[in-house]
Homo-oligomer: A and B are copies of this chain.
Amino acid sequence: MPDFFSTAIAHPNIAFIKYWGNRNNELNLPASGSLSMNLGALTTRTMVRFAPSLAADSLILNDAPAQPLALERVSRFLDRVRELAGTPYHAVVTSTNNFPTGAGIASSASAFAALSLAATTAIGLQPDEASLSRLARYGSGSACRSVPTGFVEWLPGDTDADSFARTIAPPGHWDLVDCIAILHSKHKPVGSTAGHRLADTSPFQPARLQGAPTRLAVCRQAILDRDFNTFAKIVERDSNLMHAVMMTSIPPLFYWEPASLELMKTIPAWRAEGLQVCYTLDAGPNVHVLCLSKDVPEVKKRLEPFPQVQRVLVSPPGGAVQLVTD
């Protein structure tokens, strides 16, 4: 009997309006909607091979066997794909990132988006985009946003069926660029899956969620209008609100490093001087510095002298998850 294999690529995404906390942990239904941009310069490439001869699933991450917990998470995800297809076969999953591992760039979004498409294709399914986004959501919530192209909104939904992401504008709509200041980091981060479970222990999470639909509407319109100044203010504010919730959860989560704070204090001052630039931080210390493509050289020139900035990765908006032929 032949093998069934397929390879897909996907991009991580940076959230402008954040996802933090679930209304349903089992289904990964988020507590609010969120909005992001795929990062076209960063790519995860994942091959899945199902074969009747395999006794168990296996996972090779960046050319090395994965840790047992990572394998278990992928295997649970594959169970869902096998159930959809009515197929019992195990799989070999081989996944590589073109961006540095351990640099604090979350790869679970691109990993599960690529895995969703590669696994369903290999096993003979042909889900539409919304179904693929819903499936990716089970692997990692924000992975659903790495399925559609460009600027993407995750509709929170009330049930599994209506919680998926869709494009609000294609990559070419706006020449926005993410200059990711990768920081030298001393402190071990808390994984975001564990973090999401703590969101409700902050007394501030309800007020954060209450304002989320308004912030989302403001940010969506700013993107559609290519209105950088409105975009900058709402993006920084939404990041601050999420981190304030994190810092006031029990136990408190401090994802910022001192250098993150230094940049967070400096970037609005650059904007006040006239440079169109703003910051946002996910569940980690790296500072995502957003600007227009014409200003990338200036932004890099200003970021690189900071002693705690290890390197600056630059990415334009990216496309959808897609199949590739090896």
Contacts and interface: CB of A to CB of B under 8 A. Distances in A.
Interface of A: 187, 203-204, 206-208, 210-211, 236-237, 240-241, 243-245, 247-248, 250, 252, 254, 256-259, 261-262, 264-265
B256 A261 contact: yes
Contacts of A254: 261, 264-265
Given A206-B207, A211-B203, A247 B240 contact: yes
Contacts of A204: 203-204, 207-208, 244, 248
9 contacts: A203-B211, A203-B241, A204-B208, A236-B252, A237-B250, A240-B248, A244-B245, A254-B264, A256-B261
A273 B216 CA distance: 43
A248 B258 contact: no
A245 B264 CA distance: 17
Please report whether the interface of chain A is mostly helix, strand, loop or mixed according to DSSP.
helix
A173 to B, nearest CB: 29
Given A203-B211, A240-B248, A256-B261, 17 more contacts: A203-B204, A203-B207, A204-B207, A204-B208, A207-B207, A236-B252, A237-B250, A237-B252, A240-B247, A243-B247, A244-B244, A244-B245, A244-B247, A254-B261, A257-B261, A258-B258, A258-B261
Nearest to A269: B187
Count copies of this chain in the complex.
2
Residue in A237, A244, A250, A264 with the greatest tally of chain B CB atoms within 10 Å: A244
B248 A244 contact: yes
A237 B265 CA distance: 23
A167 to B, nearest CB: 30
Contacts of A206: 207
A236 B251 CA distance: 11
A278 to B, nearest CB: 12
Nearest to A249: B240
Residue in A207, A210, A211, A259 with the greatest tally of chain B CB atoms within 10 Å: A207
Contacts of A259: 258
A72 B64 CA distance: 70
Contacts of A211: 203
Nearest to A242: B248
Nearest to A262: B258
Contacts of A207: 203-204, 206-207
B265 A252 contact: no
Nearest to A250: B237
Contacts of A237: 248, 250, 252
A208 B247 CA distance: 13
Contact of A252 (B187, B240, B262): B240
Contact of A265 (B187, B236, B244, B250): B187
Contacts of A258: 258-259, 261-262
